[in-house]
Structure 1
């Protein structure tokens, strides 16, 4: 089991843990306060009772998933993933800011029908303001520590990497692609869950297709990582085609949220801001993922496969795991201890 063993790896891990604990605590308070303030017998057309719990659940899952990615990045000493986590935090920060308005609208909708007891918004507002501020501070700290970790991991990476500059670039492309798959997972899931739970009057066929697309996409994400390691050209072509289909799907959903008929626009209204932010972020991620997948496929059969499939690459020479390093295939790795002859 990996345990951080330097000042900056501990700092990165502890920052993630503190942010997650405080933020999940704030979200749990908001959820508990909201649930206890609801009156009985609320009409079904008030989907605000589903909207707020869904936002909070997605948010809390985002923090838990971030902790998993932080541990994975530090264990593997993956500089690309560390940088990606800083950008991930910015994305969640945007969602936290949007969540403030979305919950405000939901509370006002319920308060107008007198389905809420007491001044709920006045009690929730401080927590919902504190959360984006917390995340903004944490993002700055993450960025600083990521810079320190980049320097810390640099010697380890260059100590094990091949001397061939072109091979370094191919391996960097591979690492970017693997990191993108991990972030794609969360944004795909967050968008689809909000759509399935919050948006009303969706046809049974559309719901079934959306749920099926979610399952297929997740399976393809795992296969994408498998096929890029095996350098399977047919597999990567299939994955890239699915990426384009997913891109078309998210573009369609994004346009439809603003260009549908009046009734459908009302269905999207409770979650429009949140769905828009996740759709835009997912579309940007997909574009980068498609380009990177094409670059990885172009690099097939050029000597990279032994590096990405080597046991020493996945586990590391010092049993701490360096998935972003390449073992020296030209000879034994030199000792890190300086000696005087």
Structure 2
């Protein structure tokens, strides 16, 4: 950052490079979207084949459904040969991710030690706070992914009961907006140690837990009706993560007023003071070079 802000020229160069990168990404995204649209127009109905790649157990089931619905379609009898490399690749990537996660976890502990010090109690409180923040982000991600997965399901269920598509969409958008709002309240509350904000978040999270139970029910229904096993995995995962978020949130709130905020504020002040001193030293060095 010091090198980027060393002069107006470097700052302008970084700004122009950023603008060029954004423009290039937008143009490439439009080209990609156009090509995808053209591919779908040339090859209608690829959903069955995409769906078959979800899991090994679903591949055979999807093939049977496609053949029953469209008997004129000729399926590749050796499609499992194409599925196995896909599954092996995912397994290898999962192992690599697990190894990197373990390394990051060790680094995570060292970072806590550097920031908090040798106080074991404060380390535990700080770790609980970081875990809670991580769960908030994962909850939002899982909720988004699962909602995309079940869009066709609850569109059919709601519209069959007389509800409109717009009503379902508005309800989903409103729910996501509320989740995002209350998670923002939780972020602010743990930073300032406001119990009122955390109580409001935990009260709202009970409603989210009820929604997770509904997600779990939908996931199990997807298994029983469509043999879509990933639906039940998503549903159960959402429910467990929601319950863990609620429990960790209570633990974090109970830790308010135990010295962590004061310690972090002190560290933040020291870091800001050190940053200002380094900037002053750099300005003095630049001035001496010009002279």
Change (3 A) 1:277 1:152: closer
Q: Give me the TM-score of the superposition, normalised by structure 2.
A: 0.63
Which aligned pairs between 1:1-341 and structure 2 lie closer than 5 A? 99-114=55-70, 117-120=73-76, 122-123=78-79, 125-152=80-107, 154-203=109-158, 204=163, 205-206=167-168, 208-255=170-217, 269-270=225-226, 272-308=228-264, 312=268
Distance 1:231 1:268, change over 3 A: farther
Listed one character per residue, the Cα deviations across residues 127-170 of structure 1 (whole Å, up to 9, x for unaligned) are 43323322322333333344444445554542332332211111
Q: 2:132 & 2:267 partners in 1: Cα distance?
A: 20
What's the secondary structure of 2:256's corresponding residue? coil
- After superposition, the Cα gap between the structure-2 partners of 1:115 and 1:300, relative to the gap in structure 1 and judged at 3 Å, is farther
Secondary structure at 1:202 match in 2: helix
Question: What SS does the aligned partner of 1:274 have?
Answer: helix
Cα distance in structure 1, aligned partners of 2:228 and 2:59: 12
Contact kept? 1:254, 1:279, Cα under 8 Å: yes
Deviation at 1:200, TM superposition (A): 4.8
In 1, are the aligned partners of 2:223 and 2:232 still within 8 Å (CA)?
no
Tell me the TM-score normalized by structure 1. Answer: 0.55
Query: Contact 1:174 / 1:296 at 8 angstroms: preserved in 2?
Result: yes
Write the distance in 2 (CA, Å) between the matches of 1:156 and 1:266: 43
Q: How much does 1:245 deviate? A: 0.9
The answer as to whether partners of 2:218 and 2:231 remain within 8 angstroms in 1 is: no
| Per-residue deviation, residues 277-330 of structure 1 (Å, max 9, x unmatched) | 1110011101111111001111112222245567849x89999xxxxxxxxxxx
| Bigger RCO of structures 1 and 2 (CA < 8 A, at least 6 apart) | 1
Q: What are the superposed Cα offsets for residues 17-42 of structure 1, whole Å, 9 maximum, x if unpaired? A: xxxxxxxxxxxxxx99x958955xx7
Unaligned runs of 5+ in 2: 2-35, 276-291
Query: Is there any run of 5+ residues in structure 1 with no aligned partner, and where?
Result: 2-30, 43-48, 57-95, 259-264, 320-341
User: What is the DSSP-based 3-state SS (H/G/I as helix, E as strand, rest coil) of the residue aligned with 2:156?
Assistant: coil
Q: 1:306, 1:244 → 2: CA distance? A: 30
- State the partner residue of 1:83: none
Q: Which moved more, 1:241-250 or 1:158-167?
A: 158-167
Q: Pick the structure with greater CA Rg.
A: 2
